[in-house]
Structure 1
Amino acid sequence: MINWGYRWKGALRASAAVGATMGAMMTAATGSSAWAAVGDEGDARADITVTARKVPEPLLKAPLAVTSISGDTIVAAGLQTITDLTRMAPNVDISGGIAGQLQGQISIRGISTLVRNIGLETGVGIYVDGVYIGRPENFVQHLLDVDRVEIARGPQGTEYGKNTIAGVVNVQTKQPDADPGASFRLDAGNYDYRRAEGVLGMRLNDGVSVRGAVAYARQDGFYKHLSGGKDAGSTDLLTWRLSAKYAPTDQLSFIARWEGLRDRGTPAFFQADALAGYPADFPSREPLHVNNNRPNWLHRDSQGVSLTAEWTSDAVTLTSITAYRDSSYNAALDDDQEQVDFVAADNFSDDSHFFSQELRLAGGTGKLRYLLGVYYFDQMVRTDRGIALGANTGVPGEPMLTTKGSVKTESGALFGRLDYELTDRLSLSAGLRYTRERKRAHFVQDDASGTGIFTFLGFPNLTFDGRSTDDDLSPSATISYAVAPDANVYARFSRGFKSAAYNVDLASSLGGLDASPEKATSYEIGFKALTLDKRLRLNLAAFHTDYDRLQVSQVLGSGLALTNAGRARVEGVEGELSLQLSSRLRLEGNAAVLDAHYKRFDNCGVPASLIPPGGDDYTDCTGNDLVLAPHFTGYGAVNYEVPVSFGTIFARADVDHRSAVYFEPTNSDAFKSDPRTLVNLRLGLRHGQWDIAAWVQNLTDKVYKTYADDRSGLGVFRTAAYGAPRTYGVSLSAAF
């Protein structure tokens, strides 16, 4: 039984530590966007509206931990992708995985999933304009023509359902009838970086508006090739959005959207950090170096269409969102990343299609507000992969192991919530979502050469068919109290759910091919305030979350292992602070303390490179830290503007700190990152409609790992992926 007195005393002590840290940093930020940028039109201290609970409400009164990042802040901070957003919110991080474009491993409050095959789903749901964007290969895209991004932390089972057990990232692009006119932006920087962006919006008549945006970026790779081959980590990314709005009456509107991306970059994936037969200090082991003799390449394509229809009256709003998306990628990887052929080929491709339909009714009467909805989701994903042994293994003929599979998912849900004002200060909310999700998985692993060498190496021929039907009830309940006109406290209970998972990947046995559903129960208390004439905004939250049957995916050197940890516990405190010191100066930032560990995990796989002769393949990881769960994160930024005779000079500096994290559950130092602190600077001039700015990212050229795993079965005892080195450049933009 949980000792809540002890838990909350610890949480309050941690809260004091967070507050002290934030005060010392003089930082701030409800997501770096508590107010519009200095100089924007309108009241810079107006409250923020969020839709994290699927109805518009003031951020101050929203009874959950949510960060709202405005489009103005995204531009001012030079943010390019969803990956860049993570520093803006406490307890949020993203790891590159073996390929950030394909397996973006997002962690919220210490919960993440290594989604490296189609049978696994992430625990963080990413939505664009109310549409779930599906597989992780869709995550990395330009933040193009964005109005705001909301990051809700903790289980969001009632409003969002499947795959939001850790939280939700909700991207809202600009409406077709917003900001009519044209704008463009040009960027240039080191590593031959070039980026161009253009936006055009038009109101054709009183009821019809259209808007289009396109961005293209290219950059040379920052992983240096030692033998004169192609440098890795390059960018070649095209992103577009097109939308149209038809509003025949003031009450009825239809918005059609089409967005997509085309990626032809050369990913580094990773570099070899420990290689069979090589000394510990072989040259390509130096960070940000590769020496592959087989190509690394990626072709990634994704597009989606949606139709949002909305009818409003004085009492109710009826919303329908219909969406279809398809995405695919083909990639090749030289696993040893050296002038050696342990692996002759590692080719992998996935192809996914989904359809979704959501229908919501929201309204209220008197002191009662309600939200009712129904949701349907249908997804088919197929995979085709092959890995061939090279000549340096001593096996002739480059034998190949193929893995092919498919996963069909069909999900339906009913959900609702009631919010009631007991008094002018006290409010209650209760919600419930019922979900039924069916999955069918088919997987074939085959030694196409017929030599039997892969069976000898631990990869047997196998055929697997899995079926699951999971039913879930995800309730939520909150109580809110206004302790002052601009100060609120709340207590929240919520549950989340993620359905059964399958290992449609390299498998070392018939065991470990599936995992049971996982569930989370979370308790949270929070405080939100606007004070000092609404110049100071403070958000604090303390939380305790219990995970049952947490799904764990591990790369162990001899294939992928999939299992359920018995239980996990996550506790912490996080805070956000924004301070508008003057019309010229704004401070912003966040900080978080986190304790995320396995409460019971006695069937934990051990990476092959860590197993001593005669040792066990499994160990007890109970008490160990969860993967990608830093004990402390902190972020702070300073924005300053100075009017001059020829315009306005603006400057921004931000600092992002993360403590060390582990990349696998045994918490071995061999698969661990170091703490890191990154500094970014931006200085520019605004003159009328024109802006020009110089910027630098990772000012100190910090070298830091974003991922590591064990591929001993392929001669690579340890891989390592790194964040970008120091980059710098200039930006020119204008709006008309």
Structure 2
Amino acid sequence: MTKRIALLHLLAAGAAPFALATPRIASAQVPAAKTVATPAEATDADNKGEIVVTARRREESLISVPISVTAISGDALGKQGAVDITTLQDRTPNLTLQIARGSNSTLIAFIRGVGQQDPLWGFEPGVGLYVDDVYVARPQGAVLDIFDVQRVEVLRGPQGTLYGRNTIGGAIKYVTKKLGHEFEGDVKGSYGSYNQRDLIGKVTVPVTDTLSVGGAVAYYKRDGYGKNLTTGKDQYDKDVLALRLAAEFTPSDTMFFRLAGDRTVDTSNPRHGTRLVGNGVDPVYATTASVYDTRAGAGDHNRVVSEGVSLTGEIKLNDTLTFKTISAYRKGHTDTIIDFDNTALPTLDIPAYYRDHQYTQELQLLYQGERLQGVAGLYYLNGVSAGAFDTVLGLLNTTILTSGSVKTKSYAAFTDLSYDLTDTFKLSLGARYTRDDKTGTVLRQNYTGIRSPVFGNASAIPGLVRTNYTNSRTFDQFTPRVSLSYQPNRDLNVYASYSKGFKSGGFDMRGDALFTPTTVNGYKPETVDAYEVGMKGAFIDRTLFLNLAGYYSNYKNQQVTIQVPNVLAGGIASFVDNAGKAEIYGLEMEARAVPSRDFQATLSVGYTHAKYKKYLTFIAGGTTPVDVASQRVFQNTPKWTVAASATWSTDLAGGRFSVTPAVSMRSDVSLFEIPSPVLDQDGYFLVDTSANWVAPGERWSLGVHARNLTNKRYRVGGYNFPGAAFGNSLIGYYGPPRTVTGTVEFKF
């Protein structure tokens, strides 16, 4: 405890993180939950760039909000040429957002060392994703493209006392634009490297004075960065069609209803990765000249469908009370394949499908008094995640079928109250109770032949049943939150907070009951005790905005998925370890300088120290767990993340012209808990530049966006399956190369 207190004093006094935002006023119409409502419409010269937020259910300055958060407007993302939400990691401290193996649309997310890499059904993400306050439970289809978006918000640290699903590491909120009651439209086209062709259209049609309908459609098409040298198909291509429709009804000043639906279809070719080493014997296992090429022969079919509908209602009961309801249904289906050996042979191929559906209902009661503000709510989730995949070992003429499902019913009650003790001291107390009832069903069976009957081989001979069980467990947890802030004036706020995070346990869909009999019992929940101190302020006549924060987390029973090649286990043995104890602490800083209308600059710095204190596992063999903490590291957690940008603007040809160079840096990162010198990624820099011109009246705009100007090759994923039976598979997946894109936008 003494060490923890000393650390917190150090973080409070030192250079802790600061959250930056652009110098504009936010206009969030629907209250955000402990989040920043970022730049929206126009700079307010009187406020000198102050950001107005609704984090505590009332409009207030960003400086007053005692939480570490980054928020970026959709307009700012568009002007930087951002295509999807993974670009947030280039400007947000201590954030990792990557596209996972297999497709363009499966998301891997980590904040401050907490996340979940495994996209298999049944696992819950450590970072929650929300689209208009609707929780998205599965990572498939979660790489959201940037269109029709008002802002994207990244909240660091445990969330759950204000809204939605309990999330242990943080939350990402994707907020779409409200329709309003005026006829308007927008058409945007882009063309760029690798024959990129994007087209986005939006329209709002007022039907009456109280009813509006509208929608947005986006089509993204791009050739591959590389080729499949076996089939001739593109590798790392993109073929995505996305649609959003909405109707808004405002019968009075005290009532608002919104019905919204969305559908995204991704038919891009699967990403098979590329071999990093040959097998030393057979030239068919040779590496390729380009990191974006592959020799995979498993097939090129990939289809991801994600869709949903939601109904949101707000009713103002009186001057202090507002009732809010959010009802939503979402479902998804994925057909994909991963060729882990990256050869034309079926040495280690994984054809798979996933499907999921969920219904969620949230009720909120918001109170806003003179000194007391707060929210109380109820949350319910009923969802099913299911799927199947083959592990094809062609050299052994063996296939292992794995299939199953996880049914989840979650119930939660939450509240969060903020009270002004004095004009300068403010206290916030929150609490949440969560109960998750889960039922897991797992079947794992050997077949003789290439692929099982589920994936097209009716003649495959069934063999040993390795796993076959159905089990149910209940996980519950009380998670409190408390913060105290001192704000002597409008330009300075110092705060300290404590919150407890919780992610429920579950069942390992890959578990092999013959190799690890305890898999039928499932794995335990993980928890984190998170402490944070911070300072937010405006300085030098409000031309410099600075947010600092330091944090310490005590992480217990972290759920870690480990896959190791083991022929005795029928191919690849999977373990889900609850990895004992870990300590995470770090600093974050975001700063924004706005010395004039023609220039602004931003800087963000993140530092994370994550270390296992105890890591018990059975991987070493035997029946007694072994502590391997000294041999394990945190995955997807670079020690340093740095980002800087500057924007020069000037009047040109009656319009407004701006240029924004940007650079981001990520230090060395391990892709898994077990370090791999060949697979892990060294630190690297990325350099981007954008130029934009907005015509008089702001109807026309032109943009040119260059990303990864130095053409840096960097790994965002990979796998290591040594051994002859697995083709000595060591493969990597890479981020995009240098691209240049031109855009034209017309508003009407």
TM-score by length of 1: 0.91
Retained in 2: the 8 A contact 1:226–1:291?
Answer: yes
Equivalent position to 1:287, from 274, 284, 291: 291
- Aligned CA distance change for structure 1 residues 645 and 103 (closer, same or farther; 3 Å): closer
Given candidates 514, 521, 529, the residue that maps to 2:529 is 521
Aligned-partner Cα distance in 1 for 2:184–2:296? 48
Shift of 1:187: 0.5
Q: Give the corresponding residue for 2:459.
A: none
Q: Give the alignment of 1:74-473 within 5 angstroms.
A: 74-99=77-102, 101=104, 103-160=106-163, 162-177=165-180, 180-227=183-230, 229-278=232-281, 282-284=286-288, 286-312=290-316, 313-343=318-348, 345-390=349-394, 393=395, 395=396, 398-449=397-448, 461-473=466-478
Change (3 A) 1:623 1:35: farther
- Distance in 2 between residues matched to 1:650 and 1:278, nearest whole Å: 55
Q: Secondary structure of the equivalent of 2:75?
A: helix
Aligned 8 A contact 1:262 1:302 in 2? yes
Q: Aligned partners of 1:667 and 1:160: how far apart in 2?
A: 37
Q: Decide whether the 8 Å contact of 1:177 with 1:211 is kept in 2.
A: no
**Aligned AA (1:7):** L
Give the residue type in structure 2 aligned to 1:484.
N
Counterpart position of 1:594: 608
**Deviations for 1:532-564, whole angstroms, at most 9, x for unmatched residues?**
332221111000011111111123232322110
Indicate the residue corresponding to 1:698 in structure 2. 708
Cα distance change on mapping 1:382 and 1:42 into 2, 3 Å: same
Counterpart CA distance in 1 for 2:269 and 2:258 is 36
- Contact kept, 8 Å, 2:12 with 2:533, in 1: the verdict is no
* Offset of residue 512 of structure 1: 4.3
Contact 1:429 1:477 in 2 (8 A): yes
**For residues 416 and 163 of structure 1, do their structure 2 counterparts lie closer, same or farther at Cα, with a shift above 3 Å needed?**
closer
Is 1:598–1:623's contact at 8 Å kept on the other side of the alignment?
no
C-alpha displacement at 1:94, in angstroms?
1.7
Matched, 1:3 2:6: no
Letter in 2 for 1:326: K
Whether contact under 8 Å (1:152, 1:167) holds in the other structure is: yes
Unaligned residue ranges in structure 1 (runs of 5+): 20-28
Give the Cα–Cα distance (whole angstroms) in 1 for the partners of residues 298 and 147 of structure 2: 34
**Letter of the aligned partner of 1:632 in structure 2?**
W
Task: Check the 8 A contact 2:703/2:743 in 1, yes or no.
Answer: yes
**Mapping of 1:680-699 within 5 angstroms?**
680-688=688-696, 689-699=699-709
- Counterpart CA distance in 2 for 1:34 and 1:629 is 32
**Counterpart AA for 1:516:** K
Matched to 2:347, the amino acid is: F
Whole-Å Cα distance in 2 between the matches of residues 696 and 433 of structure 1?
45
| Contact preservation (8 Å) 1:162, 1:499 | no
Q: Which moved more, 1:323-332 or 1:669-678?
A: 669-678
Q: 1:33 to 1:409 in 2, by over 3 A?
A: farther
CA distance in 2, matches of 1:38, 1:165: 27
Aligned positions of 1:619-638 closer than 5 A: 620-622=628-630, 624-638=632-646
- Tell me the equivalent position of 1:730: 742
Distance 1:314 1:14 in 2: 42
Q: CA deviation at 1:479?
A: 0.4
Shift of 1:623: 7.3
Deviation of 1:156 (Å): 1.1
Aligned CA distance change for structure 1 residues 303 and 539 (closer, same or farther; 3 Å): same
SS of 1:672's equivalent in the other structure is: coil
Determine the structure 2 residue equivalent to 1:67: 70
Moved more, 494-503 or 461-470: 461-470
* Residue of 590, 599, 609 corresponding to 1:576: 590
> What residue in structure 2 maps to residue 538 of structure 1?
546
Whichever residue aligns with residue 551 of structure 1, its letter is Q
TM-score, normalised to structure 2, is 0.89
Deviations 1:9-54 (A, max 9, x none): 55357627x79xxxxxxxxx62557668999644164433445566
TM superposition shift of 1:598 = 1.1
1:15 aligns with 2:15: yes
**Alpha-carbon distance in structure 1 between the residues aligned to 2:560 and 2:300:** 28
Give the match's secondary structure for 2:510.
Answer: coil
Secondary structure at 2:635 match in 1: coil
Look up the equivalent residue of 2:427 and give its one-letter code: L
Once superposed, what is the RMSD of the aligned Cα atoms? 2.8
Summarize the Cα distance change of 1:622–1:95 in structure 2 as closer, same or farther, 3 Å threshold. farther
Alpha carbons 2:88, 2:97 under 8 Å: kept: no
Whole-Å Cα distance in 2 between the matches of residues 189 and 545 of structure 1? 43
* Letter of the 1:588 counterpart: T
Residues 114 and 554 in structure 1, CA contact (< 8 A), matched pair in contact too: no
In the TM superposition, residue 70 of structure 1 has moved relative to its aligned partner by: 1.2
Contact 1:52 1:170 in 2 (8 A): no
SS in 2 for 1:248: strand
The answer to whether the Cα contact below 8 Å between 1:49 and 1:57 also exists between their aligned partners in 2 is yes
Quick one: distance in 2 between partners of 1:652 and 1:622?
A: 43
CA distance 1:718–1:726, shift in 2 (3 Å): same
Shift of 1:492: 0.5
Whether the 8 Å contact between 1:546 and 1:570 is mirrored in structure 2 is: yes
Is the 1:52–1:152 Cα contact (8 Å) retained in structure 2? no
Tell me the residue number matched to 1:717: 729
Q: 1:447 to 1:38 in 2, by over 3 A?
A: closer
Please give the residue correspondences for 1:554-569 in structure 2 after superposition, counting only pairs within 5 Å. 554-557=562-565, 558-569=572-583
SS in 1 for 2:375: strand
Partner of 1:24: none
Counterpart Cα distance in 2 of 1:212 and 1:662: 41
Partner deviation per Cα, 1:569-616 (whole Å, 9 max, x = no partner) = 11001011111121111111311111011121132748xxxx9xx9x9
SS in 1 for 2:15: helix
- Give the secondary-structure state (helix, strand or coil) at the position aligned to 2:616: coil
Residues 162 and 496 (structure 1), Cα distance of their counterparts in 2 relative to 1, 3 Å cut: farther
Which one-letter code corresponds to 1:718 in the other structure? Answer: L
Aligned length: 709
Query: Do the aligned partners of 2:79 and 2:692 also contact (CA within 8 Å) in 1?
Result: no
Q: In 2, distance between residues paired with 1:79 and 1:249?
A: 38
State the AA in 2 paired with 1:413: A
Q: Which runs of 5+ in 2 are unaligned?
A: 27-37, 453-462, 566-571
Compared with structure 1, are the counterparts of its residues 167 and 50 closer, same or farther at alpha carbon in structure 2 (3 Å cutoff)?
farther
Letter in 1 for 2:710: T
Q: Give the distance between the partners of 2:129 and 2:78, measured in 1 at CA.
A: 21
- Checking the alignment, whether the CA contact within 8 Å between 2:107 and 2:143 is kept in structure 1 is yes
Amino acid at match of 2:720: D
Deviation of 1:642 after TM superposition, in Å, equals 1.3
Query: 2:352·2:390 contact (CA, 8 Å) conserved in 1?
Result: yes
Amino acid corresponding to residue 322 of structure 2 in structure 1: T
AA aligned to 1:311 is I
Given that 1:244 and 1:255 are in contact with CA atoms closer than 8 Å, whether structure 2 keeps it comes out as yes
Q: CA deviation at 1:238?
A: 0.9
Aligned-pair CA distance for 1:226: 3.5
